[in-house]
Structure 1
């Protein structure tokens, strides 16, 4: 992908709401750039400002202050140009339950100013690409959850937008349906070069799919990097070593504290817990140095960090707990 051209540019983007006599600062000066062709995950707990930010970028909310441009067009001054260049797949289903699948796609194309023949051709193309061709005459209400989400993706792509927003696209889907949907999304992205901005509570999706992860909390961006870099720089690997005696565990902890890659060390009886930035290279050195001092480990284990560990390190709170609360 060529990421040289900016698809999204925001500077100090802010949104305030009045709630009675109180002022709610939903978004507090978000500044970010998303290059053409990138797949970016926007993460944060419920109420962090993600949805408000998306609604401003899609022209559904007017910013209180700051600016945002989509494909070079200002979201406040050029709404029609912005809307014609983006697709939006929200958390709810976008198609009418009593409408037929193909008719919904054709109507969507007409709404974007396409001719009827072009709308029909594009509908058939997307039905084939998203494996919905056999369902074109079915009512939307008869589709499975996975089929409906594929239809939502198709509706967002009818006008061939260079930018696609996916707001919790796989929520409520079983693992196989989620995997199938992502296969379709990634294939279409490869073929069309679409820029994708994703919000999700499934951290594994963000970790494996996104080239960049942007974490928002309390209306501000608190982290922005690749998933691998965030995990290495902010969370680190967790090492757990078990020893035969508490004295040996204490010796190993002392050795660990002298290593530059070790960030935290804790001893609980026979077990030494360590957080290190380079677990693979730290563990052999630690075992060798501890053994040289008479502290031979009985067992050792490395646990890789997750994006939830990153958020926990940054805020002291868990994204997974937030997702569970939303689901319940």
Structure 2
């Protein structure tokens, strides 16, 4: 199990409630369409803002254990939720649209990989469909588990979590570079590795800050989101991401910057209200960035 799943607490009246229209501290994303009684994790919005893809561990209608789902923007609301065609009978999770909109990245433990959860990508076609899933290869994938792929704005770096490349704990954060053919040469994200699990990371301000999840054991213990600023080549002094439900008891994870609205961040968690089910998707204003650019230098 990748992370702890909270219990279900649903008010039936929320099922048909409209999406939150404004941002204060946070607002739920796509009530009844994206956020439902199921566990919804790590939403990614296409650069043109017309499509959202997310992962669910238990939403009815998929083909595998954990599946990717998508919805389209119509009349200002997410509509027509349906499984993404790249799903397999295995687990498919942690989607991320590339900044140019040409690729959908994700992890899968389908047959034919390097072992465990591997990173994949599928081309986004001109008609809105997807090409076949492509394994990112041994440059980043190992016999262990790789999670949460995130591509830099220039397409030259891949941020991900792995327990197969060595590190200070179990899962640590790594950055691989694009060599013209593949992502290769993963190196630890400077300053963040600990004896705990670090995963589910998002760059802010082109890498001048980073938001990431940390847990003693995401399968059994609480998961919390942290933000750290870059100072002289290292991310330092992580602080809890300022959300009321990002506390020491819950599960908050899956941060992704909205590519169509870079000042906003999507996260997964469970607020007291508004709430649709277990883990929902929420939207918040991206935190302030005060760090320098040296953490992205290689």
TM-score with structure 1 setting the length? 0.27
Is the radius of gyration larger for structure 1 or structure 2? Answer: 1
TM-score with structure 2 setting the length? 0.29
Greater share of strand? 2
Greater share of helix? 1
